[in-house]
Structure 1
Amino acid sequence: MMGLAAIRWLLGKRAFTYKLSLQVKLVLSFVFVIFIPVVLFSWYTLNEESAKAMKELTKNNENVLAFEKINIENNVELMGWTGQLALSNREMNNYLQIEQTQDAAYVLHIKKDVVNNFQYFLFNNPRIANVRLFTDNQYVNEIWPVILQESRIQDKPWHDEVLKQSGLPRWEIQETVALTGVPSEPSSNEPFMTYLQEFKYADNKEHNGILEISMKLSDFFSRTFSSVQDTNSQLAVVDRSRQVFSLKTSPVFEQHSAEQLINRLELTSDTDYETVQFKVNGYSYLAFQSYIPSIDVHLINIVSLADTMKGINHSRIRYIVLISLLAAFLVLLSYSMQAIILRRLKALRESMQQIRRGNFNVELPPVTGTDEVGELGFHYRMLILKINELIQEQAARQAAGKEAELRALKNQIDSHFLFNTLENVKMLAEIEEQYLISDIMTSLGGMMRYSMEWKQDHVMLSDELQQVQNYVSIMNIRYDGRLDLRLSIAPECLKQESLKMSLQPAVENAIKHGMSRMHSSDGKLVIMISAFRRAEACVIEITDSGCGIPEEKLDLLNIMLRMDESAYRDARQLFVQNDKQDSNGIGLRNVDQRLVMSYGVEYGIQIESQEGSYTRIIMTLPHQLMGGE
């Protein structure tokens, strides 16, 4: 099976290449040798440049994310340190733990000497927006903006969540930290990052209050809200409720808002960097994200790939234009160079065409030069001269041969002597009542007379059928009468003109392969020869009841009937390697070639078969009767 497939592939390639002119083949080979490596190199270079650009883009934006994380860690540490400092002030702690109402002088003392110093010390870092202590001690007087009653924040959504932390800090992003009724509260509408912590004193294990430290979001995430950064990337912060905080005026969000882009991402819980590339309405983006568990937010760097992809596309177009120009230049150069070479070959071809038409007196073309084409022209000249010499010698030989033939005929044994001898043997067999031998002699004599008296190549179909009947009669001696020849000939086909000895090879083939793999129950091989007229053709079918031919092998046999001689030799070698039996159809191929030479390519032999059932040789001839009818 693999061998047959290889043969078909080989034949298909040959058929395609044979149709191309030599100049086209040379141009294609020249282009393939140079153009394809250039295309592959350009494709590799473009991919390398694209990969390098993406790698550099990734590295730069990961660095941006890393710097922002360092800045966040510093701010977390600063606010934590501020919280520890606020809760460790002894005089402030004593004031928050009073158990009775204090006079105004004491409260003023706390305001002047404790709270003011407390504020000055804590606010020495300008990034801290405010520090507030919310207490539930009803004896403590509020000293704005530091000491306030806890009742002011009990309606905040985060109040109960802070109490559930059991003293651990909780981070919240608030749209505003202003409290109702507090005149000194900041009026900024900018969001704040808030550090919240429940505090308890050592001698009082119950709840005392909540510490709040606030920092503007633009200070806490300084790089995220900075207006001085790459126009193709923008940092964004996503809190635990998936609310997005970022610089809304960033060029990255011109086509799609930050919320639209963030919603296309699946937020990671990994503290390392995770890179995701995605598209929104045809626009490409690259997202670098990292989770910061200490403040429970996701930090995401969104990068627009529009400029990067534009640069890659420009490089791709540039390479395509250069390759196209190079291809055009190579084709023109190859065509020009080969036109010079092929001009001389064209002159040789035209001369050969005239010689093929029988004009051996053609004027030889002036093909000069010392290269291969010039050498070919020289040898071609010598070949024509040699052919003319051989023609003259052959004419002389034919004349001498005729004379020798006449002399030889005088010394030949008369063919009638041989036929008379066979007739005498036949008569002796009949006298001895050896009728089988008599029949064999009759059939053998008929075959010999038919084959030896070759006066013309064309005979009537009835003569060919008689030859086949004699042949089958003789072969039945070998096969003990197991050959059953049946004829079904239309009357108008009996005088059909056919090539002499064209039916016997098909019958031989049927007997040889049919009897070698007999499958019928009675051991007989039925050979049916039928002839009928179809339009302007006469169709002769030789069908045997043998084992048939596999489909793959049948297709190959039909192809081998008409392939050229060199391809036929190659196919025949592969055929013999796959099928050890001598079943390469040489006899049928010879008959087909004789039919094509006599009547044209539309006539000849076709093989049909069904494995395990039958094999049929279909011979198509032009319908013409002997004698000019």
Structure 2
Amino acid sequence: MGFAAIRWLLKIRAFTFNLSLQVKLILSFIFVIFIPVVLFSWYTLNEESAKAMKELLENNKNVLEVEKINIENNVELMGWTGQLALSNREMNNYLQIEQFQDTAQVLHIKKDVVNSFQYFLFNNPRIANVRLFTDNRYVNEIWPVILQESRIQSKPWHDDVMKQGGLPWWEIQENVGLTGMPSEQMPNEPFMTYLQEFKYPDNTTHNGILEISMQLSDFFSQTFSSVQDKNSQLIVVARNGQVFSLKDSSVFKQNGAEELISSIKLTSHTDYETVRFKVNGHSYLALQSYIPSIDVHLVNMASLEETMEGINHSRVRYIVLVSLLAAFLVLLSYSMQAIILRRLKALRESMQQVRNGNFNVELPPITGTDEVGELGFHYRKLILKINELIQDQAARQAAGKEAELRALKNQIDSHFLYNTLENVKMLAEIEGQYLISDIMTSLGGMMRYSMEWRQDHVMLSDEIQQVQHYVSVMNIRYDGRLDLRLSIEPECLMQESLKMSLQPVVENAIKHGMSRMHSKDGNLLITISGVRRGQACVIEITDSGRGIPDETLGLLNQMLRMEEHAYQEVRQLFVRKENEDGNGIGLRNVDQRLVMSYGVEYGIRIESQEGSYTRIIMTLPYRVMGGG
């Protein structure tokens, strides 16, 4: 059998050697077409299945990610609301009274404190209620905000809140209503509640518990939304194992949410974890994540029935399509071989010329929309692109030479300007005009500092020197009425600072200080101090101008960090009211640069006392240039 097989192979080989290339191509195509088709079909079908599962996983992950973002926003909203509630001075004063109040005082608290407190905190419709439970027996209950703590001491979460030591505690409650309250209408659905103990000013004595509630459908908006994929559903699992979800979801048609959750092991990690399992013969895919801030598990449960059915249908359709395509290619191959070989020969000859360095070769027209025609089209485009690149490279070299000449010219112009200032300075000294000489020195230093912008960060000592030059130049305008005094700690002189961050502040102080002068001698004193405070360097620029009224001062500080559209509106009102064109735009620019470079905890703020002084306080992270 072995020798006979070898003889047959030798006969087949001798027979094929005598055939034309066209026939060989057809036979080889027919012989090898089935193996590639089978392998390609198998690979493609697996890729389609993997792609469908990956797409399903990505969609579920996106839904879970959106819900986590919603949860983070709601956590931040409720935490922010809690901070506002606990920072209300008038409310705290009332909760800490040490004697009973008469009716008039209670009505005053109800009208002026509680009502404004509710209006301020309930400006977001997602907040269901904000209640303060106090154990102060002198406090009268003012429904629905101020209540006695005895009403919630029987709640199962009361002791947990007390153990937190003032830290927030999150609890999912079936009902936040209180017995004995007058006609309290609360929706018949669970609530997510933010609970926090608050204390007396000594920070050790218990005063009460703050409760902020939000409907669970608002807190987990994506979970309880009816507009979502019918094959997946988000599930919220509380710390006690209680399950909350959209009960009428089609995912729970075969098995309930509690049964599905009991079939998987909940993760203790915040990263996403995927579990694929079956319950009663039905396949599911669970994508889960743990949210430690509120101590809940978020699970996106997806049914795989429809996905697997779609994959099977696609598999059948694809096999039929590939089979028909293979048969069509076999029938078409014979008639196409002659055309393909003729056009390929023309391409081969042209490529040989290109290989020899002739990029201006004229390619004979190769028509058709098949692979060879497309190859001829792209080959022609490739030749044109190569010629374009050669021309572009020549143009770039010429442009580079021109840029070098322009840079050299600018450098010559800068040196010419510096040399001119030095010549004027020397002439002034020869003529005995020492004031003009000093001004030329300061002006030259300012121009050199501002034009040689090699980096955004400089040492504070460089900024101070620039300010000294600036004040010297401005003293010409103001007849020497500007007095600059420095008080910088030595360790702050090498402090990293943004370039051109001090001059706008000093410029602002001179502009407004001289226009609002109140001193008898008409002089303006500007003091710049710098001290290190922990991991920060604090720079204060104080002028002895007229100062700023309190209401204007507050507005200016707010304008430093406003959004751009709000700032423009307030700026126009400020200009019309104050009849000024400055309105803090220079200070705002400096603050924004500092925030962008170092973070929101750094920047500037304004202090002032009307009729006395104005002080700009600039806070920078303590960094020594070159020293780490």
TM-score (norm 2): 0.47
Q: Which has the higher contact order (CA 8 A, sep 6+)?
A: 1
Structure of higher CA gyration radius: 1
